[in-house]
Chains A and B, each alone.
Chain A
Amino acid sequence: AQSVAQPEDQVNVAEGNPLTVKCTYSVSGNPYLFWYVQYPNRGLQFLLKYITGDNLVKGSYGFEAEFNKSQTSFHLKKPSALVSDSALYFCAAPTSGTYKYIFGTGTRLKVLA
């Protein structure tokens, strides 16, 4: 079965430190991969996506993600975390040949001042 996994329920990082939120996938064919963020009391917002080409994708708010085909990973990164980055982050991908998206269970990021 195709799947998207986020192995960490929560990630804590100090403000100013680099952050990584992990995502691994099992999707047939060439995957399309997405990161969305859910701030408290707000809807999900698109951060970035990988379609094809450059393995390093840059997105909103200084976030970037690296597609690694051999490790089937698409980790979200930011060089310097802000307290305002604290939110729930979801990795997602459509299953091959369909519009049916599968989402990871989410990772809660806490950036400590």
Chain B
Amino acid sequence: GAGVSQSPSNKVTEKGKDVELRCDPISGHTALYWYRQSLGQGLEFLIYFQGNSAPDKSGLPSDRFSAERTGGSVSTLTIQRTQQEDSAVYLCASSSGRAVYNEQFFGPGTRLTVL
């Protein structure tokens, strides 16, 4: 079956511009995560959605970052006024059910480069 998809796969933007990254989770998965993977770093948790509940935004690094999830499915991560330090691979993952110990299925990521 179809896995988690993300678009675009690569995004190059100029400092100060806004970008939108999209994630399509596995159909039926109620949990959705966004992470950031910087070179030489582990994955950094950004935000977690579960169904129609209020998201856990505790990992968003600044108010330039926001995310929404429409209809409990597709999610968009928006970065406003991008900075060079935002350059990274942004990963989306989904999992089934509400149990915190359910494994996550990851998308291929969006590589963001801010010039």
Chain A residues at the B interface, C-beta cutoff of 8 Å: 4, 6, 32, 34, 36, 42-46, 49, 51, 90, 92, 94, 98-106
Q: How far is the CA of A94 from the CA of B31 in the complex (A)?
A: 14
B25 at the interface (CB under 8 A from A): no
A-B contact count (CB 8 A): 63
- Chain B: interface residue count, which band? 20 to 34
Q: How far is the CA of A24 from the CA of B55 in the complex (A)?
A: 29
> Which of B42, B58, B104, B108 contacts A106 (CB under 8 A)?
B42
Q: Do most interface residues of chain A lie in helix, strand or loop, or is the interface mixed?
A: strand
Are A98 and B108 closer than 8 Å at their CB atoms?
no
Are A105 and B40 closer than 8 Å at their CB atoms?
yes
Are B43 and A43 closer than 8 Å at their CB atoms?
no
Contact with A along B8-51 (1 / 0, CB 8 A): 00000000000000000000000101010000111111001010
Q: How far is the CA of A99 from the CA of B56 in the complex (A)?
A: 8
Give chain B interface residues in 61-115, CB to chain A under 8 Å: 91, 93, 100-101, 103-109
Other than A44-B91, A90-B42, give 11 A-B pairs with Cβ distance below 8 A. A34-B103, A36-B106, A43-B91, A44-B106, A45-B106, A92-B43, A99-B31, A99-B56, A100-B48, A100-B59, A103-B43
Q: For A51, list chain B residues within 8 Å (CB).
A: 101
Are A99 and B50 closer than 8 Å at their CB atoms?
yes
The 5 closest A-B pairs by CB, nearest first: A103-B42, A46-B103, A103-B43, A44-B106, A43-B106
> Which of A32, A44, A98 contacts B101 (CB under 8 A)?
A32
